[in-house]
Amino acid sequence: MSDTNKDINFAEAPDGHAGAGFFATSLEKIVGLARKNSLWPLPFATSCCGIEFMATMGSTYDLSRFGSERMSFSPRQADVLMVMGTIAKKMGPVVKQVYEQMAEPRWVIAVGACATSGGIFDTYSVLQGIDRIIPVDVYVPGCPPRPEQILDGVLRVQDLAENESLRRRNSPEYQALLASYNIK
Ligand code: SF4
């Protein structure tokens, strides 16, 4: 093994049965493993929290260690919508349209106090949390959150992706959740 290869960590195999020349597990576990380690984020950054995300992508924090280095600026090729910054009410329909254009399975992270709850901007023009218009999977606290916290938010989405049932997106509960946001 070369020196370069020796520093590469491989993802752990899911539970299953191994023997000479074979490994057997369930399809759900394999799909979960693949999804977990290839989440493509769509950064929707409107203000200061977006700067923290830029640091998260840089070499010190290096989001690519988790398989998420491929930014997707097209909703149709994104898995995780990361909303970072103050969302004015006028911007709300745009966030919702981006979410609606993403294919399932899709996840959402509200990064920072503004995206989570409006933050310090308790005012008529600011949306008091993006979960008023789209479902949110993970909330990252802080104003601004440190890059470590943003990384932790991505890891929490990895946990969700790894353990999600293949049937969840077709379940009546999930359809009811979308319907409650008037999303088809
Ligand atoms: S949470 Fe704080 S740092 Fe983040 S966008 Fe709002 S004001 Fe800026």
Are 39 and 79 a contacting pair, CB within 8 Å? yes
Q: Is 45 in the pocket of ligand 1 (CB under 6 A)?
A: no
Other CB atoms within 10 A of residue 87 CB = 26
Element (H, E) at 159: helix 147-163
- Return the domain boundaries, the chain: 35-156
With residue 6 as reference, give the H or E element that holds it.
helix 3-6
Q: Is 116's C-beta closer than 6 angstroms to any atom of ligand 1?
A: no
Q: What percent of the chain has pLDDT over 70?
A: 97
| Residue with CA nearest ligand 1 atom 2 | 143
Q: Please give the model's pTM, rounded to 2 decimal places.
A: 0.93
Residue with CA closest to ligand 1 atom 5: 85
| Whether residue 1 has pLDDT greater than 90 | no
**Distance, CA of 176 to CA of 184 (rounded, Å):** 10
Q: Which residues contact 162 (CB under 8 A, 6 or more apart)?
A: 32, 33, 35, 36
CATH topology of domain 35-156: Rossmann fold (3.40.50)
pLDDT digits (tens, 9 = 90+) for 47-94: 999 999 999 999 999 999 999 989 999 999 999 999 999 999 999 999
Say what percent of the chain tops pLDDT 90.
91
Range in 1-5, 34-38, 63-67, 106-110 with the lowest mean pLDDT: 1-5
Which residue, judged by its Cα, is nearest atom 3 of ligand 1? 144
- Averaged over 138-158, what is the pLDDT? 97
